[in-house]
Structure 1
Amino acid sequence: MNGALSNVWFDRKKIAPTADECIESVDIACEEVGKILREEADSGISKNKIVIGGFSMGGALAYHLAYRFHRDIAGVFSLSSFINKDSIIYQEVKQVKNGLPPLFAAHGGKDPLVLFDWGVDTVKALESLGVSTVFHEFPRLHHELGVQELRLLEEWLSKILNV
């Protein structure tokens, strides 16, 4: 935003695959959202019936939550999202061989903010580390959600949650 501050999930120095992670900020956000997950689990909802995900930075936060702190959830979805090239996520996932939540990812082919190739590279990297992935490209979609994308997500959620 040309140096202007904005309210987002966590701090970023720039929107680029090679940017350093502001891990303290990420961890604070993960702790806050993690409290909600724990409350849900404490209320009787089994964590294998919980899916977390988001759009853009919300998807990035979901990656951190699922693959660093809550690997026992049912799944992860990420829409027009990313993980930085040298993310701590990749380092931690390398140490886990089994039990990683499956991933549904979708990305617009014309996304000018989180470039399509960045989204694809993220999914390929996770897949190479053992994450079961489903990926959908929407060639005409920019940094936005599409109806077909949401329908496919709904189908995937029904399958993952067995509903």
Structure 2
Amino acid sequence: MVALHDGVRAVLVFLHGSGDTGAGLRHALAHVAGGHLVHRLRERGVELVTPSAEPRSYFLAPGQMSSVWFDRHGMDPRAREHTESLDQSAARLAALLDELQRAGISPHRIVVGGFSMGGGMALHLALREADRGLAGVFALSSFMCASSPAFALESARRAPPVFMRHGAADGFILPRWGEATAEELRALGAEVDFALVAGLDHTMADAEVIELTAWVLDRLGV
């Protein structure tokens, strides 16, 4: 169950990266850019929701249970997508969106996004739930598989506006992978704001989080 504070006008659902948790992400956001995102959301009456992925066996960490939104058959974007685990997490997150709507939050007052794997999951969710009318979706240091079935969904052509940032020095999720995903989304007709962050590796930078905060508040109209 999601407990919303009194007076909440909108919601930001922020999904963590692989191996992290919602609590871990919230702790990180309280420190990056001096907690700028957290403070600005609170000022504008926007609830920050940071769900946690369910631990599962993860191909890239053999023999270990990991807090990941989905499994992989390989890291390279040419690898086949692990559709079963994606379907499971997408269903859980769609149920979260349903819960928010029942609590009185209209879809056009909800932005979904994430960092690393969380950003990839958010993009999947936005394409699958495009008919819901979300205000926007963002992905930081993220990508989707090149042959993802999500790109072929009819609903995907009604995807909400997309904000993507990627570290130009990211050696884990390569910048060209994020750029390719941005181009795939543009080919669907999505409005995509993509940019590389000079010198940034696989982490969140103060400047991009400040920029993201302004984008989120603009999309939510608060």
Common fold by TM > 0.5? yes
Computed over aligned residues only, the root mean square deviation of the Cα atoms, in angstroms, reads 1.5
Which letter maps to 1:155?
Answer: A
SS of aligned partner of 2:118 = helix
Pair 1:131 & 2:190 matched? yes
TM-score (norm 1): 0.93
Alpha-carbon distance change, 159 to 86 in structure 1, aligned in 2, over 3 angstroms: same
2:159 matched to 1:100?
A: yes
Percent of residue pairs identical: 38
Which of 43, 61, 86 is the matching residue for 2:147? 86
Residue 150 of structure 1 is aligned with which of 190, 205, 209? 209
Question: What is the identity, as a one-letter code, of the residue corresponding to 1:137?
Answer: L
| 1:20 aligns to 2:80 (yes or no) | yes
Q: 1:69 to 1:22 in 2, by over 3 A?
A: same
Task: Name 1:32's counterpart in structure 2.
Answer: 92
Residue 75 (str. 1) matches residue 136 (str. 2): yes
Do 2:111 and 2:134's aligned partners in 1 also have CA atoms closer than 8 Å? yes
Amino acid at match of 1:79: L
Structure 2 unpaired stretches of 5+: 1-59
- SS of the aligned residue for 2:215 comes to helix
Using the TM superposition, give the Cα deviation of residue 69 of structure 1 relative to its aligned residue in structure 2, in angstroms. 2.5
Larger radius of gyration: 2
More strand by share: 2
The letter for the 2-side match of 1:144 is T
Contact 1:15 1:113 in 2 (8 A): no
Change (3 A) 1:148 1:32: same
Aligned length: 161
Name the counterpart of 1:111: 170
Q: CA deviation at 1:123?
A: 0.4
Q: Contact 2:157–2:188 at 8 Å: present in 1 too?
A: no
Gaps of 5+ in 1: none
Residue 47 (structure 1) aligns with: 107
